[in-house]
Amino acid sequence: MRVLLAILLSLVWSPLFAQDNATLVADHIFISGDQTLTAEGSVEVFYQGNRLVATRIVYDSTADKLTIEGPITLTDGNGTVVLASAAELSRDLSQGVLKSARLVFKNQLQIAAVEMNRVSGRYNQMTKVVASACQVCAQNPVPLWEIRARRVIHDQQERQLYFDHAQFRIAGVPVFYIPRLRMPGPGLDRASGFLLPSFRTSSGLGPGIKLPYFIAIGDSRDLTLTPYLSTKGTRTIDFRYRQAYRNGRIEFNGAITRDDLLPNDTRGYLFAEGSFDLKKDFSLDFSVQGVSDRAYLLDYGISDIDRLASSVNVTRTRRNEYIDARLFRFQSIRAGETNSTLPTLVGDATYQRRFTPRMLGGEGQFRFQIHSHRRGSNVDFDANGDGVTDGRDVARASAYVDWRRNWVLGNGMVVSSGFETAADIYGIGQDTSYPGTVTRVTPAASLELRWPWVKSSTTGVAHVIEPIAQLVLAPNSTKDVPNEDSQIVEFDEGNLFAFSRFPGADRRELGNRLNLGLSWTRYDPDGWTLGLTAGRVFRADDLGQFGPASGLDGGSSDWLVAMQLKTNTGLSLTNRALFDDALSFSRDELRLDWDAPKYDLSASYNWLVADTAEGRLSPTSEVAFDAGWQISQGWRGVVGGRYDFEADSTANAKVGFEYRNECALVDLSLSRRFTSSTNVNPSTDLNLSVVLTGFGGGATGTTYKRSCVQ
């Protein structure tokens, strides 16, 4: 019956409905003469995307006015809802007055007013206003935060909110007053203006405040300027510039500082990055990292990196082809390192192609690489006693060809064979220990046998056991070249059966050897898996290529044992150990990750023996962890730290609390750095940041939305 009335009215009441494509639906509709229409009972009006729900509507065609009795709900189709007790509106709902009105934006910000005026279908002008995005319950009608104002104007076209005589309150207590305040309305992602401040206290700089100002330069560009003032004299301006292009993006972050830590110096940093898509599937990436002095990044809590890298990189990756060209500039801010004796300018170019030989089958690969690096020093000997020639510059061109093929036997065994040949030519400058040009060729061949066994039980448990034996033949010697890129060697299950376990090209693993390994994996239908891998390398001759920390030194390597456990409850445990026949460990790495609904933990322990070849004069034994605990609905605690057992000292520690609900995010953290050097002193940082949700296009925090208890 309701639908029939709506159709009839759209035909006979043309002044209101037919001309403007409006629709009225109600339980009862009365027409008094030709001037007045009255609709009662579950009234709904649809007009140009707007929907009005009310108890009773009276339309006076002479005055072209709607008199509406509530409760009233008016939605605009864009997530904005107006609630009121009574209203007088124009026929198109664009003009009029609403009593006891409440404006709700996309279930986020709510604005309650004594009266609201709709003007030109664009503006909502409200008087005696309370605005908040917090859940308000009858038991506790005071929201966590609110803004009270004499008047608020909502510009629907520009999606802006303008407050007159605004007072910000927390838990009902006035905090500060602003005569004029402009805020982005919900749905507006970008608008110029101040952002919420953050507070930081450090032992070096004292208490300080950061007040960011966001500038929307256009649809694709923005700039954020953040003054930072502290009680110990720092005057800093942080900046962030971002720009998006059709084929890429760029971002610059930096700061300029004058402070009392270095009173006569202008300090600062600049980090930039960008990426672009080029023609023919190429991509361009660049990064810039620079800092005025070694201590700046730690003093201002920006980053704990101690080697900066600026680079430009062009790459292309296709199914059987890889091209990469890059140029780096390194800057060390690590205590005790001098940039003039480090390779600060590095260039690389690589072309890699995969193919299938017609006669041999299997899979082949060709790789050509050019590498060059230079040092700033002009000294051609080791003047500082670190074992490396101070000014040595190196250029290298390398070509690699390798091939592998598998055969599966009738009993399930897999036989593999392969070979690899690497040819290098070196140009060495400013080093009297080496000739100017060195060429070398390093071949290697392998024969491998695998025999995978699979067993499944009636309960659904599956076991996979795979013994592997690999024989590698390689020469016992080659021409000597400087070792710049293979100083640290890691022996793990990933390279147990590799031709060479050195990470770079300056060293190739030499000598005939037998690699043996055994892996076992258990798959449980309950969703957890357990894997174990054990292996060892036996050499025909001890050529002295590796240091004690690698686990590969001697005629036979240390035992490699690796374990990995994963469960469907979010637990992941990984352990990798290297030890000799006397169970003396050269390396042990343990990592634990646990991600549960209320708890999360990431912890690791590392043990390394001392090894002068890797620049480690004493053993390493340290534990690091980060843990989080969902204390209650909305409350989360975090704790973390790193402890050095060899030095018997804590390197750093942190503790923090976060509160998040549907209208606010509060983050409070305390961190302490205990280590010191010639660049920095131990320091303690206290950070407080507050984010009010419900404005603009930010996060709503609905995951932590509170509910009222009935």
Per-residue confidence (pLDDT) for residue 203, from 0 to 100: 85
With a cut of 50, say whether residue 13 has pLDDT above it. Answer: no
Backbone phi, then psi, for 306, in 5-degree steps? Answer: -125, 5
Reading the block at residue 399, the tokens are: 């070509």
Confidence bin at 528 (pLDDT 50/70/90): very high
| Amino acid 2: pLDDT | 45
> Is the per-residue pLDDT at 65 higher than 90?
no
SS3 per-residue string spanning 428-451? EECCCCCCCEEEEEEEEEEEEEEC
Largest CA distance in the chain: 113
Whether the predicted pLDDT of 477 surpasses 50: yes
Q: With 50 as the cut, is the pLDDT of residue 19 above it? A: no
DSSP output for 496-523: TT-S---SSSS----S-EEEEEEEEEEE
Q: How much is the pLDDT for 103?
A: 85
User: What band does 697 get if pLDDT is binned at 50, 70 and 90?
Assistant: low
Query: Which amino acid appears at position 262 of this protein?
Result: L
Supply φ then ψ for residue 689, to 5 degrees.
-130, 145
Per DSSP, the three-state class of 128 is strand
93-105 mean pLDDT: 85
With a cut of 50, say whether residue 9 has pLDDT above it. no
User: Over the stretch 648-694, which tens digit does the pLDDT of each residue have?
Assistant: 999 899 999 999 888 888 899 999 988 766 667 788 889 988 888 77
435 phi, psi to nearest 5 deg: -70, 165
- Per CATH, domain 1-93 is 3.40.50.1860: no
7: tokens are 């159709």
> Residues of the chain with pLDDT > 70: what percent?
93
What are the tens digits of pLDDT across the range 125-151? 999 999 988 887 766 778 888 999 999
Element (H, E) at 224: strand 221-230
Domain ranges of the chain: 1-93, 452-618
Amino acid in the structure at residue 123 = Y
Token pair 């694709």: residue: 220
- Judged by average pLDDT, the poorest of 19-33, 224-238, 362-376, 434-448 is 19-33
How far apart (Å, rounded) are the C-alpha atoms in residues 671 and 301? 10
Structure-block tokens of residue 343: 């390779």
AA letter at 385:
G
Mean pLDDT of 298-306: 90
pLDDT tens digits for range 161-205? 899 999 999 888 998 899 998 888 777 777 888 888 889 888 888
What pLDDT does 565 receive? 96
Please work out, in degrees rounded to the nearest 5, the angle formed at the alpha carbon of residue 179 by the alpha carbons of 106 and 161.
Answer: 20
State residue 436's pLDDT score. 93
- Output the 3-class SS for 528-583: CEEEEEEEEEEECCCCCCCCHHHCCCCCECCEEEEEEEECCCCEEEEEEEEECCCC
- Residues paired with residue 363 on neighbouring β-strands, in sequence order: 404
Q: What is the pLDDT of residues 532-589, one digit of tens each?
A: 999 999 999 999 999 999 999 999 999 999 999 999 999 999 999 999 999 999 999 9
Band (pLDDT 50/70/90 cuts) for residue 94 is: confident
pLDDT for 428 beyond 80: yes
Q: Tell me, what's the pLDDT at 78?
A: 72
Q: What angle do CA 14, 17, 21 make, to 5 degrees?
A: 120
- The pLDDT assigned to 507 comes to 94
Question: Higher-confidence residue: 79 or 292?
Answer: 292
Continuous segment of H or E residues that includes residue 294:
none
Give the E-state strand segments of 264-306 in sequence order.
267-277, 283-291
The answer to whether the Cα torsion of 161, 164, 168, 169 is positive or negative is: negative
pTM exceeds 0.85, yes or no: no
Question: What does DSSP say about strands 267-277 and 193-194: parallel, antiparallel, or unpaired?
Answer: unpaired
